[in-house]
Chain A
Amino acid sequence: MSNNAASELTLQAVPSWMPAFLVAPMIGGLSLADLIALVVLLLFVLIFVMIEIWMERKVAGHIQLRRGPLHVGPHGSLQSPADVLKLLTKEDLTPVAADRIVFPMAPYLVFVPVFLTFLVIPWGPLVLFGNFVVRPFDLGLVYMVAIPAMQGIGLVMAGWSSGNKYSLLGSARVVAQLISYELPMVIALLGVAMMAESLNLTTIVESQMKQGWNVFLQPIGFLVFFLATMSEMSRAPFDIAVAESEIVGGPFVEYSGMRWGIFYLAEFAAVCLNSALSTALFLGGWELFPGSRALGLGWISDQFGLLFFMGKMIVLVLIIQWARFVLPRLRIDQLMDFAWKFLLPAAFVNFILTAILQVFGFVPFAIGIGLTLALAAVLLATYQARRSPSTVALMRTSPESVPTSKGVGLPV
């Protein structure tokens, strides 16, 4: 299955009703339609981030027996725009020790890579508009790995240029974390590329419609990808880079006003981005449910696919937000251990299993899955056995068994 086969299925990226002057390439090969698409995409990201922030605060509130935002708009739904207004009016401080050039530049270098990666996401079709995707690159998968990795540079710039030791520690953590988690993520993606025999994200989605969703074919890959991206965007429990109880916000310590707001925007845009990528790569993109095409229900996905894509994305966003309010933070060495000792081997296992599926067919794949599960169970059991049980012995209530302070010579 190559690009040729896939192109039959591909919905037109450019709807036929679009006038010619819109799609005619202008300077640098960009057409007017491209520019409009970029603006629409930017607006979408901004609005979705606002919804996301409101959602997170509501989720947090209700998990913690609170109510969350309540007063600005119905159920506090206009809280995020209000916060943006507040951030815009706040004074933009630059510390004396900060680097004058790098410090103001850093927020944009964090946000721009995240935004650029949105270009390759196949959002799916909606009735009249055709298939939403700004740039269906053939090398989309490589692009989506390479571009967001650049935001590490922005974070290091932010941390270094702030002239604050907490920021520096935070940016050092960011580098370590990004490098470690890039690897299992890429290897997990190899399985996806192998299944679709393509690096084009649209093709990958369409191949999932034929073969079944990747989340069922390579669950390990999904898990590795999801956890690795969660770590890449510094979400709890992997948020050591910003860890407010240790290094009080990491690279962002010295930022205020809208510059800080852009960091915040980038963080939440990354959550949106990674949920969208997980949806496209593993959850069948805009398909309603696995195998719907075989049941003759493919037209629903073809007409309203965008909505299903968004739905899946929002569910993933909610899961990411949920985890933040349940789990304590990992320590840096544990974080590294998790990447190198668990995620990386798991990604390789997924790679091998997918290769078996692709080359030898389903039966050896099933055997492989069984072996993997058995191995995992054994490893888990040995791990559990190595751990000592929790020990708090209770003293019984006979007063004689308890030493008096005179007996042991306790200090007064």
Chain B
Amino acid sequence: MAIASAINMLRETAPSVSEERNLETVEMTINMGPQHPSTHGVFRMVLTLEGERVKNVQSHIGYLHRGAEKLGESGEIEGYRKAMITLDRTDYLSSLLNEHAYVMAVEKLAGISVPERAEYIRIILGELTRINSHCMFYGAFGADSGATTPYMYAFALREEIQQLFEAVGGARMFPNYYRAGGLREDVPHDFVHRVQAIIDRAFYAFDDFDNLITANEIFLSRTRGLGILDQTRALDLGVSGPLLRATGLPYDVRRSEPYSIYDRFAFDVPVGTTGDCYERYLIRQEEMRQSIRIIEQALKDLPGGPIMGNAPKALRPPKGEAYVRIENSRGDFGVYLVSDGKSSAPYRVKYRSPCFVNLQSLNDMVIGTYIADAVVALGSIDIVLGEVDR
């Protein structure tokens, strides 16, 4: 009896469900960036939070706008060369790939042919740039998810590749090495050996990358199932590159619209199934290995001969326009050039930057997740702010 009465008493004093206090939390807006360690430069996200949950995200870009396109249109002489200097510095991680797109556009505009040897060297250096860029992704993605060591592993390999760029083009990040019609100068005589050495080493390095975090359970739980982007939505947004391939569509410009001499090489296009952050990571890991495959084939067939085509000394293309697109390490990169036929600088320069377009998918990935996930999802897009803001 005593117990029953005690329980009754408790019941009476305890608040009933209907009277429960309102436990809703107040929304908080925090400003992530432009000075934040993991917004990949000067990207700014304004997150609306409910506790740890992200309710809304608003992106702000433009902090690194340098007018690369407009600068490309200036210049009384050598305008076509000057445009490439600013192009190099937009996407500073895939500079040689972007140079390739640009010189191809100029060649299309002016009707210049490119010798075989130059094409092969462009392929080799381009794929090395892709590895270089994906290494950077590996490091940054690891850091975003909280592991600091991947950065250093990635930079050990990047160092070798950049040393090669220095040997070939004189600069480690912005070699400014391609020219309309070929290359600035021939590669050093020990080029093949050095590339071979990098390839040999890269295989070890990729295994180390994998051992470090690819199978790590914490890493898996952080990235798997996060930031899922389905195929229709990805196509609606115009997303390209590893983000699109992770959704299951094997769309790679190198394969879909083979440019340069990519139709001569055997390589696989990795695709995912669910389109989450982990698959984007795996796809980039696999693409590095496929790049090595392409480089190996190109090295085997590397022909001798001239490295410069029939390009005139002073470039003054006829009136017209040209659009060329390539697969750079982030997706579908396009260069649009218009020539007025009179000046030695392009009348209009326009870059189609994959980062800018891919960044549109951020809201789809981030809303409803945690703050920590927002950082990882942003990292999986692999943006370069120089290219987003241009």
Contacts and interface: CB of A to CB of B under 8 A. Distances in A.
Contacts of A396: 268
Contact of B371 (A169, A325, A327, A328): A169
Given A248-B37, A332-B52, A395-B271, A165 B30 contact: yes
Given A328-B213, A332-B372, A410 B251 contact: yes
A401 to B, nearest CB: 7
A27 interface: no
B241 interface: no
Contact of B147 (A65, A328, A412): A328
Contacts of B152: 64-66
B268 A408 contact: no
A382 interface: no
B28 A165 contact: yes
A327 B279 contact: no
Interface residues of B, number: 61
A92 interface: no
A282 B282 CA distance: 41
Interface in A53-103: 60, 63-66
Size band of the interface chain A makes with B = 35 or more
A244 B144 CA distance: 9
B218 A328 contact: yes
A395 B270 contact: yes
A4 interface: no
Contacts of B373: 331
A116 to B, nearest CB: 31
A61 to B, nearest CB: 9
Contact of B146 (A165, A237, A410): A237
A393 B273 contact: yes
A393 B271 contact: yes
Interface string A154-167: 00000000000110
A334 to B, nearest CB: 6
A394 B212 CA distance: 23
B144 A245 contact: yes
A8 interface: no
Contact of A402 (B143, B240, B269, B325): B269
Contacts of B191: none
Contacts of A174: none
Nearest to B140: A245
Contacts of B263: 399
A240 interface: yes
A402 B147 contact: no
A182 B250 CA distance: 50
Contacts of A411: 235, 238
Nearest to A176: B52
A330 to B, nearest CB: 6
A396 B279 CA distance: 18
Contact of A63 (B143, B149, B267, B370): B149
A403 interface: yes
A158 B302 CA distance: 63
A246 B271 contact: no
A165 B52 CA distance: 12
Interface in B204-255: 212-213, 216, 218-219, 221-222, 235, 238, 240, 249-253, 255
B36 interface: yes
Contacts of B240: 410
A108 to B, nearest CB: 28
A325 B148 CA distance: 6
Interface in A260-290: none
A245 B372 CA distance: 8
Given A165-B30, A244-B37, A327 B147 contact: yes
B270 A410 contact: no
Contacts of B371: 169, 246-247
Contacts of A165: 28, 30
B201 to A, nearest CB: 13
Interface in A88-137: none
A57 B271 CA distance: 40
B352 A402 contact: no
Given A245-B375, A393-B273, A328 B249 contact: no
Interface in A365-412: 390-397, 399, 401-405, 408, 410-412
B216 A328 contact: yes
Interface in B133-160: 142-149, 151-153, 156
B267 A330 contact: no
Contacts of A410: 235, 240, 251
Nearest to B268: A394
A224 interface: no
Nearest to B286: A392
A243 B52 contact: no
B267 A397 contact: yes
Contacts of B283: 392
Contacts of B151: 64
B184 to A, nearest CB: 30
Interface in A314-333: 324-333
A234 B282 CA distance: 30
B352 A394 contact: no
Interface in B327-347: 334
Given A392-B272, A395-B269, A412-B352, A245 B250 contact: no
Contacts of A65: 152-153, 156
A402 B272 contact: no
A402 B255 contact: yes
A338 to B, nearest CB: 10
A399 B282 CA distance: 22
Contacts of A330: 146, 218, 221-222
A403 B325 CA distance: 16
B255 A329 contact: no
Given A391-B279, A403-B250, A64 B153 contact: yes
B370 A405 contact: no
Nearest to B151: A64
Given A64-B148, A327-B146, A327-B147, 19 more contacts: A65-B156, A169-B52, A237-B218, A239-B146, A240-B372, A243-B372, A245-B144, A248-B36, A328-B216, A329-B147, A329-B218, A331-B222, A332-B370, A333-B52, A334-B222, A392-B286, A393-B271, A394-B268, A408-B249
15 contacts: A66-B152, A165-B28, A244-B37, A245-B146, A246-B371, A327-B216, A328-B145, A329-B145, A330-B146, A331-B372, A392-B271, A393-B272, A395-B268, A402-B252, A402-B269
Question: Which 7 pairs from chain A and chain B are nearest by CB?
Answer: A329-B146, A64-B152, A411-B238, A328-B145, A328-B147, A245-B38, A328-B146
